Amino acid sequence: MTIEKAYMLISVFLFLSGLLGVIIRKNLITLLISTELMLNGVNLALVSADRLVGGVEGQVFALFILAVAASEVAVGLGLIVALFRLKGYEGSSEITHLRD
């Protein structure tokens, strides 16, 4: 077992715990933070695969994932603020209807 494979195990752990966070967290903001955990896990998997295979393509894709994460956070937090302002919702169990 090489060190890159160990890092890949850590990345799988990060992704799955982010998924667990999306399932179990109550607050919408912490739910978004768990999504970020999943994105970090994918980044780590790409970089360690890069090191295993030998190349830079994985790092380029990880950079695009960083850009997508930034835009996702902007839109997601905008949605949370709009939901809170319109309805007063703050928990993931409160959003049961897409419209009135």
Partner 1 sequence: MEWLIFGFLSTWVVLSVMGVLFLKNPIHALLSFVSLILAVAGMFLHLRAELLAGLQLIIYAVAIVVFYVLVITTIPWEKVKRFEGFYKREFFVGFPVLLLSLALFAYAIIKGNFARVGLEAKDNVKEVGKSLFTTYLFPLEVASVILLTAMIGAILLGRKEE
Out of 55, 87, 97, 99, point to the residue binding partner 1 (CB under 8 A): 55
Phi, psi dihedrals of residue 27, rounded to the nearest 5°: -80, 140
Rounded-to-integer distance, Cα 27 and Cα 95, Å: 12
Rounded-to-integer distance, Cα 77 and Cα 72, Å: 8
- Is residue 66 involved in binding partner 1 (CB under 8 A)? yes
According to CB under 8 A, which residues from 67 to 86 bind partner 1? 67-75, 77-82, 84-86
Contact 18, 38 (CB under 8 A): yes
Window 7-46: contact mask with partner 1 (x via CB under 8 A): xxxx-xxx-xx-xxx-xxxxxxxx-xxx-xx--x--xx--
- Is residue 87 involved in binding partner 1 (CB under 8 A)? no
Nearest approach in angstroms of CB 21 to partner 1 is 5
Nearest approach in angstroms of CB 34 to partner 1 is 7
Nearest approach in angstroms of CB 38 to partner 1 is 11
Q: Print burial letters for 11-25: b (CB count within 10 Å at least 16), e (below 16).
A: beebbeebeebbeeb
